Amino acid sequence: MKRIHELLENKKENSLAIQDFDNKNYSYSHLKKMSSQLAQALRNHGIKGGDKVVVVSENSAMYAACLFGLSEIDAWSVLVNARQSKTELDSIIKHSKAKCVLFTTRASQQAEDHAKNLSASTIADIDCGPIVCTPLYNQKAEKVIDDGEQVATLLYTTGTTSEPKGVMLTHNNLLFNSENSANHIGLNHNDKVLGVLPGTHIYCLASAFLPVIFAGGSIQFVPRFKPDEVLGFLREGITRFPGVPQMFASIIELLDKNNEILNAPHLRNLATGGAPLDPDVKMQIEKIFKLQLNNGYGITECSPTIAVTKNEVRRSDLSVGLPVPNVEVKIDKPNKDNIGEILVRGKNVMKGYYRDAQQTKEVITPDGYFKTGDLGYFGKDGALFVVGRSKELIIRSGFNVFPPEVEAMLTKHPSVYQAAVIGKKTKTNEDILAFILTDGEVIETELKQWLKKYLAPYKIPQHIHIVKKFPTAATGKILKHKLTTFFADILH
């Protein structure tokens, strides 16, 4: 295969591919037909190979038709979550040099609002909804590459510590990860994956959606995460549920609140990634679901999967498991504790950052390793442990403090649901700041006293702020680089 739309080939035509947000079902033959109809409508509109087309969407069959239809044309999909602001969207349209913008208006009020702001109109209709598109912008197309090195999608990273960058992922990147992930997990045509992670994010796109399509299974698209709705889907036949730790924490909170017991008879695979996993969340979820919560590590620039644990190998620790097959991982410049930067090489590594050759050169070594900026080490059995971002490392009184360790200990307290820890430079040192969500039954001084029993003195935060919500990405991942501005009114 040279293009991602070829994943739809050689599937049982009448087998279910998508159960949509409105409960409509689409078979493989139906999805293939809609994708081709969308491709033809865009050709008639003036889109050709090498054009960049922004897709402002939330999870839906229309999102899938856009992805595969643009692949048919050899155009680049620039995936943008509809919940992004007008300013963010305008910036991406400008930087990507987009030829036009598509919107999944039936699945998202925000997408419809963006469409109105950009004077979009319906250029055609297909079974899953109207094809809503802007007029063409005056932009040149990129050169089309006949083999799999053609760019399939351009993803702008949310960035927990930096400004967004346009990551160019090729068809080869996505096809490799789809097959690799499906085989590693053991997906088959009977699997039904819960697609509640945003499809515009690499985690859903390449670790949930495309792998199950490769395997000939189906996906239940859910545009927004609502814990009660997700529990309903899990009870109705979902076999695989990939989520971020914050989703699992919300499910625990809801079940506790309602004193409910979960019954998910068909569920056989739970996976988490996208943010550090809290040990207490892992323990509670495994007790509730009676399944291992498989911890994974991936990054947009690596399409994304680097390592993930498996049901077959039980783990009680927070390792992300062995590197997946056909992906090389090494630790660069390890310190006395064998902790160093995680480097990755394989067919999963991106083509580069769009319009930024210098930054691409800085993160991809001459021998092809991608410098993740994450710190980690290998355990005795070869499993990878990720301890945090190099940019998030806090140096307190000359000691290294890794935020995930402090966050994990905070959430061990029975009153704390979520925690985010960052450093703040002072004239002579670096303070540790913690932001937490609680049940309202605990105060800062009590938490500090509690932490003293479990953490070295230099790891205890100077300030613990009890907050009502966090600034988050569409996946639910906490955006740490926004914490200081988001909570500017409570910081001194």
The residue from 365, 392, 419 where one domain ends is 392
Asked if 42 and 63 sit in the same domain, the reply is yes
Q: Looking at beta carbons, which pairs linking 354-363 to residues 24 or more positions away fall under 8 Å?
A: 354/95, 354/96, 354/154, 354/166, 354/167, 354/168, 355/95, 355/166, 356/165, 356/166, 359/165, 363/301
**pLDDT tens-digit series, residues 373-402:** 999 999 999 999 998 877 787 878 767 788
User: How large is the greatest C-alpha to C-alpha distance in the chain, in angstroms?
Assistant: 68
Q: Is the dihedral of CA 292, 297, 299, 304 positive or negative?
A: negative
The residue from 366, 392, 418 where one domain ends is 392
Contact of 221 with 195, CB cutoff 8 Å: yes
Domain count, the chain: 2
Contact of 354 with 368, CB cutoff 8 Å: no
Q: What pLDDT is stored for residue 88 in this prediction?
A: 83
Asked if 120 and 265 sit in the same domain, the reply is yes
Contact of 383 with 323, CB cutoff 8 Å: no
The 3-class secondary structure across 99-126, one letter per residue, is CEEEECCCCCHHHHHHHHHCCCEEEEEE
Q: What pLDDT is stored for residue 341 in this prediction?
A: 96
In this predicted structure, the answer to whether residue 87 has a pLDDT above a threshold of 90 is no
Residue with tokens 């045509």: 189
Q: What pLDDT is stored for residue 398 in this prediction?
A: 67
Asked if 44 and 93 sit in the same domain, the reply is yes
Q: What pLDDT is stored for residue 160 in this prediction?
A: 43
In this predicted structure, the answer to whether residue 475 has a pLDDT above a threshold of 90 is no
Q: How confident is the model at residue 184 (pLDDT cuts 50, 70, 90)?
A: very high
In this predicted structure, the answer to whether residue 162 has a pLDDT above a threshold of 70 is no
Q: What pLDDT is stored for residue 428 in this prediction?
A: 65
Rounded to an integer, the average pLDDT of 316-332 is 96
In this predicted structure, the answer to whether residue 127 has a pLDDT above a threshold of 50 is yes
Q: What pLDDT is stored for residue 376 in this prediction?
A: 96
Cα dist. 71→74, 96, 143, 170, 182 in Å?
5, 17, 14, 11, 21
Read out DSSP for 206-225?
Answer: IIIIHHHHHHT-EEEE-SS-
Asked if 451 and 313 sit in the same domain, the reply is no
Q: What pLDDT is stored for residue 157 in this prediction?
A: 82
Asked if 92 and 207 sit in the same domain, the reply is yes
In this predicted structure, the answer to whether residue 280 has a pLDDT above a threshold of 70 is yes
Asked if 264 and 339 sit in the same domain, the reply is yes
Asked if 301 and 338 sit in the same domain, the reply is yes
Whether residue 280 is contained in a domain is answered as yes
Q: What pLDDT is stored for residue 145 in this prediction?
A: 97
Asked if 348 and 415 sit in the same domain, the reply is no
* Residue 78 to residue 92: CA distance in whole angstroms: 9
**pLDDT tens-digit series, residues 211-222:** 999 999 999 999
- Going by the DSSP 8-state scheme, the letter that residue 229 receives in this structure is H
Coil, helix or strand at residue 423: strand
Rounded to an integer, the average pLDDT of 321-345 is 96
Read out DSSP for 28-54?
Answer: HHHHHHHHHHHHHHHHHHT--TT-EEE
* Residue 236 to residue 230: CA distance in whole angstroms: 10
Q: What pLDDT is stored for residue 286 in this prediction?
A: 95
Contact of 28 with 8, CB cutoff 8 Å: yes
Asked if 388 and 456 sit in the same domain, the reply is no
Asked if 360 and 442 sit in the same domain, the reply is no
**pLDDT tens-digit series, residues 94-111:** 999 999 999 999 999 999
CATH of residue 101? 3.40.50.12780
Q: What pLDDT is stored for residue 234 in this prediction?
A: 96
Asked if 346 and 420 sit in the same domain, the reply is no
Tell me the pLDDT of the chain averaged across its residues: 93
Rounded to an integer, the average pLDDT of 436-463 is 90
Whether residue 224 is contained in a domain is answered as yes
CATH of residue 454? 3.30.300.30
Asked if 1 and 24 sit in the same domain, the reply is yes
Q: How confident is the model at residue 18 (pLDDT cuts 50, 70, 90)?
A: very high
Whether residue 260 is contained in a domain is answered as yes
The residue from 392, 407, 426 where one domain ends is 392
Whether residue 278 is contained in a domain is answered as yes
Q: What angle do CA 280, 285, 289 make, to 5 degrees?
A: 160
Contact of 447 with 416, CB cutoff 8 Å: yes
Q: What pLDDT is stored for residue 277 in this prediction?
A: 84
Alpha helices by DSSP H, listed for 200-332, are 202-204, 210-215, 227-235, 245-258, 279-289
Whether residue 111 is contained in a domain is answered as yes
Whether residue 492 is contained in a domain is answered as no
Q: What pLDDT is stored for residue 492 in this prediction?
A: 63
Give the side-chain half-sphere CA count within 13 A for 321: 27
Whether residue 491 is contained in a domain is answered as no
Whether residue 93 is contained in a domain is answered as yes
Rounded to an integer, the average pLDDT of 156-171 is 76
Whole domain around residue 64: which residue ranges? 1-392
* Residue 343 to residue 307: CA distance in whole angstroms: 12
Rounded to an integer, the average pLDDT of 55-61 is 98
